[in-house]
C-alpha cells in the first residue's frame, strides 16, 4: 500500500467529488446503507468502478459511493465496506477514508453491526463507540508513512471525537432513541469469536465486538479527521446466548432496527448541519 495506490483511485472519481468538500463522510456497515435518507442525490458510483476498492463481497453491503445533499449540507457516503478478512489487504479497507480526506471532508461517521458483550446491551440497541481495543495486533499504519496521514507515531488517546459523540447524543435526544456507549473490540474475522475469546475481551473492558471500523478509525485519526463510531447490536456474542451465530441473524436484526437507525442517523446529520 502506497501513495500511488490512492492516487489511482482518486483520479478515477468524477470531478464533482472535489468541487465542494462534503460536510460529512459516512462509511456504512451491514444494514446501515438501507436506512440512509438522501434529499438530493448528486452521484452514485459502484465500487467496481473505483480502482483498488472493488465490488463488495459481503451480503448486506451495497458497494456504492453516494454523494448527496441533506439538511442543506453535502455528504459523501460509502454504502458498505471492504474487510481485512476478504484477503485483499489494507488498501481497500481504508481507501474510503483516504478518498474522503482528499475530498476535503473533516467529519466522519463510521457505522457497523456488532455482537453484544456487556450484559447492559441487547439485540436492537444502538451504541456510540467511546473507545476501542484492537485485538488483532496489526493495523493499516504499518509500512511507509502515507502523505496526509500525519506523523509516524500518531496519538490515539482520543480517536473518537467528543464533539461528534455529543452530536450523536443530542440526535438521540431529538428522536427519543435510546443510545448506549461502550468500548468496541476489533477482531479479524471471518470466523465469529469463541466463548473463551469473548470472556477475554470482556476482561479487557470491551462492550461489543465486530470485524470492522477500527482500521478506518485508526487511519482517520492519523489523517486528522473528526471521527465517530456507531454500532447496532445485532446479537449477543458467543457463549452469552443462543446455540450459534450467523450473518443472517445480523441482517435480520438490522432490518428490525432499521426505523430507529434511520431516525438517529438523519438526526445526527441535521445536528451536524446546524453546528457548522
List the beta bridge partners of residue 76: 25, 67
132 catalytic, yes or no?
A: no
Peptide bond connecting 190 to the previous residue in cis, omega within 30 degrees of 0: yes
Instruction: Please tell me which residue in 211, 220, 263, 270 is annotated as part of the active site.
Output: 211
List the beta bridge partners of residue 137: none
Alpha-carbon gap, residue 195 to 243, rounded angstroms: 11
30 catalytic, yes or no?
A: yes
Find out whether 223 and 159 touch, Cβ atoms under 8 Å: no
Find out whether 196 and 202 touch, Cβ atoms under 8 Å: no
Instruction: Please tell me which residue in 10, 76, 83, 223 is annotated as part of the active site.
Output: 83
Distance from the Cα of residue 257 to its chain's centroid:
17
Instruction: Please tell me which residue in 235, 237, 238, 261 is annotated as part of the active site.
Output: 235
CA torsion through residues 67, 68, 69, 70, sign: negative
Short-list 259, 267, 190, 255, CA closest to 31: 255
1 catalytic, yes or no?
A: no
85 catalytic, yes or no?
A: yes
Instruction: Please tell me which residue in 1, 62, 76, 113 is annotated as part of the active site.
Output: 113
61 catalytic, yes or no?
A: yes
236 catalytic, yes or no?
A: no
Instruction: Please tell me which residue in 1, 33, 56, 61 is annotated as part of the active site.
Output: 61
Instruction: Please tell me which residue in 3, 46, 71, 86 is annotated as part of the active site.
Output: 86
Instruction: Please tell me which residue in 12, 134, 197, 247 is annotated as part of the active site.
Output: 247
Instruction: Please tell me which residue in 12, 85, 88, 249 is annotated as part of the active site.
Output: 85
Instruction: Please tell me which residue in 56, 107, 212, 221 is annotated as part of the active site.
Output: 212
Instruction: Please tell me which residue in 1, 30, 127, 132 is annotated as part of the active site.
Output: 30
Find out whether 113 and 234 touch, Cβ atoms under 8 Å: yes
212 catalytic, yes or no?
A: yes
86 catalytic, yes or no?
A: yes
Catalytic center residues = 30, 61, 83, 85-86, 113, 211-212, 235, 247
Amino acid at each position: 500500500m502506497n501513495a500511488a495506490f490512492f492516487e489511482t483511485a482518486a483520479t478515477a472519481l468524477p470531478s464533482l467529488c472535489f468541487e465542494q468538500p462534503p460536510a460529512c463522510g459516512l462509511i456504512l456497515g451491514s444494514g446501515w446503507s438501507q436506512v440512509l435518507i438522501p434529499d438530493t442525490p448528486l452521484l452514485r458510483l459502484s465500487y467496481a468502478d473505483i480502482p483498488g476498492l472493488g465490488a463488495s463481497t459481503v451480503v448486506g453491503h451495497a458497494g456504492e459511493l453516494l454523494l448527496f445533499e441533506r439538511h442543506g449540507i453535502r455528504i459523501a457516503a460509502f454504502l458498505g465496506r471492504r474487510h481485512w478478512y476478504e484477503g485483499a489487504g489494507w488498501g481497500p479497507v481504508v481507501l474510503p477514508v483516504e478518498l474522503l480526506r482528499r475530498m476535503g471532508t473533516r467529519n466522519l461517521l463510521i457505522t457497523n453491526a456488532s455482537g453484544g458483550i456487556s450484559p447492559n446491551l441487547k439485540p436492537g440497541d444502538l451504541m456510540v463507540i467511546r473507545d476501542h481495543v484492537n485485538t488483532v495486533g496489526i493495523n493499516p499504519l504499518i509500512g511507509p508513512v502515507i502523505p496526509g496521514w500525519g506523523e509516524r507515531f500518531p496519538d490515539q488517546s482520543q480517536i473518537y471525537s467528543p464533539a461528534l459523540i455529543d452530536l450523536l447524543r443530542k440526535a438521540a435526544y431529538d428522536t427519543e432513541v435510546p443510545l448506549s456507549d461502550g468500548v468496541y473490540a476489533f477482531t479479524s474475522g471471518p470466523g465469529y469469536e469463541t466463548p473463551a475469546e469473548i470472556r477475554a475481551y470482556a476482561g479487557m473492558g470491551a462492550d461489543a465486538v465486530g470485524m470492522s471500523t477500527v482500521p478506518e478509525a485508526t487511519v482517520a485519526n492519523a489523517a486528522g479527521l473528526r471521527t465517530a463510531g456507531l454500532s447496532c447490536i445485532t446479537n449477543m456474542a458467543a457463549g452469552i446466548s443462543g446455540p450459534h451465530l450467523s450473518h443472517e441473524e445480523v441482517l435480520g436484526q438490522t432490518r428490525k432496527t432499521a426505523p430507529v437507525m434511520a431516525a438517529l442517523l438523519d438526526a445526527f446529520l441535521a445536528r451536524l448541519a446546524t453546528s457548522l
